[in-house]
Amino acid sequence: MLSKKIEKALNAQIKIEAESSQIYLAMACWAEVKGLEGVAGFMYDQSQEERDHMLKLVKFINERGGHAQISQLAAPNVTFTSFKEMFEKLLEHEIFVSSSINDLVHITLEERDYATHNFLQWYVSEQIEEEAMARTVLDKINLIGNDKGGLYLFDRDIEQLTVTSASMDTPE
C-alpha cells in the first residue's frame, strides 16, 4: 500500500512524464515543418516513449492501492531558433526529470517503501540513458556547426541513434 506522500509524489511524476511527451511532440512538429524528417521521427518516437513512462507510473500507483491522477498539463514551447537550441532545451528538460526522479527515490527511502524504491530504479537508469542521448546529439550538432551537408546527414542518421550508457552495461 502506498503512503499518501508517495502517492502524491508519484502523481506529480505522472504529470512530468506527460509534459515530457508533449514537449517531444511539439519538437517533432517543429522539426517536421522545417523539413527535418529524421529529427521529427526521432522526436515522435521519444514522445511515445515518455507517454509509456507515464502509463507505467499510472499502472503502478493503481496496482499498489493508490489512485493515479491525470492533471492539466503546461503547454510546451512550440518554436525554436534552431535545432541546436531545441536539443539544448531537451537536455535541460531531461536533467530536470532526473532531478525529479532522484527526489522521488529519496522520498521512498524516507518512507521505507522499498517496493516503490525498487520500481523507480528503472527510471533512474532510464534517465541516465536519456541524458547521455541528449549529450551525444548535442556533441554531433556541435561537430556539424553550420555545415548544411552535415545537417542533412545528421537528419538522415538520427533515427538510428542508439546510446548505451555506462549504467546499462552489464559485466560479462
Q: Is 93 annotated among the ligand-binding residues? A: no
CA distance 136 to 129: 10
| 92 annotated as belonging to a binding site for a ligand | no
> Of 47, 37, 51, 52, which is closest to residue 159 (Cα–Cα)?
37
Please name the fold of domain 4-164: Ferritin (1.20.1260)
Q: What are phi and psi of 48, to 5 degrees?
A: -65, -40
**53 annotated as belonging to a binding site for a ligand:** yes
The verdict on whether residue 17 carries a ligand-binding annotation is: yes
Q: Would you place residue 3 in the very low, low, confident or very high pLDDT band (cuts 50, 70, 90)? A: very high
Q: How far apart (Å, rounded) are the C-alpha atoms in residues 72 and 93? A: 19
User: Residues 11-45: pLDDT tens digits?
Assistant: 999 999 999 999 999 999 999 999 999 999 999 99
Q: Is 110 annotated as a binding residue?
A: no
